[in-house]
DNA sequence: TTTTGTGAAAATCTTCACAGCG
DNA sequence: CGCTGTGAAGATTTTCACAAAA
């Protein structure tokens, strides 16, 4: 089983087989007639395209429940995300161990960011603090923010923000259920 | 400022103005020429379409870091999500207070689900336990699962699952940064 | 004149159909 | 044969252009 057909991939992912072939062709992954696609090729090429082959250094700011969960979240390591520092302003949390990390005081953030040339920050602070922290991070040279606070951050155009929109996800789920006629609260 | 134009909404959301008009028309929100759309209409109608006007009862299963964060996440209440029960199998956690909730033992889940006729479950258990818990929830009559474990759950076709794909979100952010030429790790 | 609402045009995305290759 | 690769057809989405309304 070192080869896989577009039809099989299509079945697993739940899309049309032609689509799979077109997409793989678009990222220059070639298959062989009669045989299919070499699984090694698919995996390595796809990883490359998605940027998972390089190591991705990042800092995590905010070690509340959500921050702690993220620091321990399984699978980030597999995606190449390496947290080179985990920070919180709350001195009660500083020194605590979270997964593999020890919480550092915010004061250390500047030097860690500079030493490791970190460009990416995971933001898991309370909503009211998010914009301020983001501004500060940007001034430190951060140019990518993975934002978990439910607020739209204002950043310069050269900074990329990805909002993890839990509220939106919930709305979509609710809508899907309702469109199937499921009542979510007893009348 | 009780009216808003499609052009203004388009600017805020970052899409074409015609698109805004088409979409609003699709959900039966009418505007008035020269004036625009009545903001009250837009908000109330849109809330209705998204199912945010009804109360949405749900249970939360799993009170680790992520579960705790979710139980406290601001904004769910505004979206109409009401957690009627918060559960964990770990007796060390049972009885603990998380935000407004008290952690209940899994044994109580069955009766709470039945009494409140809960159809929606938020799943925040360790990856290895997710499928088992999901199976059990479905057998209790749950028909919507908001899954935070990084695993594709196998459920009957009448059950709706929404995966909160943190890994995917990260991959997208990394890809965006790389396409802008940002190196995320020093060489 | 400004802004909605919408049919028509343009662009894009998806599927079909089949040549080519092993 | 079975499966890839791809041009053409089909479907859908987005944009354009303009009539109608206040």
Q: Closest Cα of chain B to A172: distance in Å?
A: 8
A129-151 pLDDT, tens digit per residue, is: 999 999 999 999 999 999 999 88
Clarify whether residues B39 and B126 are in a common domain.
Answer: no
B36-90 pLDDT, tens digit per residue, is: 999 999 999 988 887 778 888 999 999 999 999 999 887 778 778 899 999 999 9
Give the pLDDT confidence score for residue B31 in this predicted structure. 92
Phi, psi of B132 (to 5 degrees): -60, -50
> Average per-residue pLDDT in chain A?
91
Which residue bears the tokens 């008290």? B102
Clarify whether residues A32 and A90 are in a common domain.
Answer: no
Is A72 part of any domain?
A: yes
Higher confidence at residue B184 or residue A37? A37
Q: From residues 110-169 of B, which are strand C contacts by CB within 7 A?
A: none
Q: Is the CB of B1 under 7 A from strand C?
A: no
Give the pLDDT confidence score for residue B150 in this predicted structure. 85
Higher confidence at residue B77 or residue A153? A153
Clarify whether residues A96 and A128 are in a common domain.
Answer: yes
**β-bridge mates for residue A83, sequence order:** A58
- Which whole number is the average pLDDT over B12-26? 93
Residue B177: which pLDDT band, with cuts at 50, 70 and 90?
A: confident
A22-64 pLDDT, tens digit per residue, is: 999 998 899 999 999 999 999 999 888 877 788 889 999 999 9
> How many angstroms separate the Cα of A154 from the Cα of each of A88, A132, A135, A137, A148?
22, 10, 8, 12, 14
Nearest nucleotide, CA B32 to C1': C4
Give the pLDDT confidence score for residue A187 in this predicted structure. 63
A103-121 pLDDT, tens digit per residue, is: 999 999 999 999 999 999 9
Q: Judge: A162–B173 Cβ closer than 8 Å, yes or no.
A: yes
Is B179 part of any domain?
A: no
Clarify whether residues A45 and A106 are in a common domain.
Answer: no
Cross-sheet strand order for the sheet of B120-123: B104-105, B81-88, B56-61, B120-123, B144-147, B160-163
Give the pLDDT confidence score for residue B166 in this predicted structure. 81
Q: Is the CB of A22 under 7 A from strand C?
A: yes
Instruction: Specify the pTM.
Output: 0.84
C-alpha angle with apex A58: A52 to A60, nearest 5 degrees? 130
Is B176 part of any domain?
A: no
Optimal mutation site among B81, B168, B173, B180, interface A, most CBs of chain A within 10 A: B173
Contact between B171 and A79 (Cβ < 8 Å): yes
> How many structural domains are present in chain A?
2
Give the pLDDT confidence score for residue B187 in this predicted structure. 63
Phi, psi of B84 (to 5 degrees): -90, -5
Is A173 part of any domain?
A: no
Clarify whether residues B103 and B147 are in a common domain.
Answer: yes
Q: Closest Cα of chain A to B101: distance in Å?
A: 15
d(CA B98, CA A97) in angstroms, rounded, equals 21
B92-145 pLDDT, tens digit per residue, is: 999 999 999 999 999 999 999 999 999 999 999 999 999 999 999 999 999 999
CATH number at residue B162: 3.40.50.720
Q: Closest Cα of chain B to A31: distance in Å?
A: 24
Q: Is the CB of A170 under 7 A from strand C?
A: no
Is A181 part of any domain?
A: no
- Per the structure, the complete domain to which residue B14 belongs is given by 3-49
């Amino acid at each position: 089983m070192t080869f896989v057909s577009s039809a099989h991939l299509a079945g697993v992912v739940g899309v049309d087989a032609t689509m799979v072939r077109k997409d793989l062709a678009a990222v220059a992954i070639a298959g062989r007639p009669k045989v299919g696609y070499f699984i090694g090729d698919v995996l390595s090429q796809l990883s490359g395209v998605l940027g998972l082959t390089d190591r991705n250094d990042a800092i995590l700011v905010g070690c509340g429940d959500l921050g702690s969960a993220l620091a321990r979240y399984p699978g980030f390591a597999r995606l190449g995300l390496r947290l080179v520092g985990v920070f919180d302003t709350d001195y009660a949390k500083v020194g605590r161990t979270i997964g593999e990390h020890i919480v550092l005081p915010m004061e250390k953030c500047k030097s860690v960011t500079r030493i490791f040339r970190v460009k990416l920050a995971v933001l898991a602070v309370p909503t009211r603090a998010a914009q301020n922290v983001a501004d500060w991070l940007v001034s430190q040279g951060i140019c990518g923010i993975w934002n978990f606070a439910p607020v739209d951050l204002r950043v310069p155009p050269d900074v990329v923000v990805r909002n993890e929109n839990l509220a939106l996800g919930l709305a979509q789920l609710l809508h899907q259920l309702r469109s199937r006629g499921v009542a979510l609260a007893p009348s």
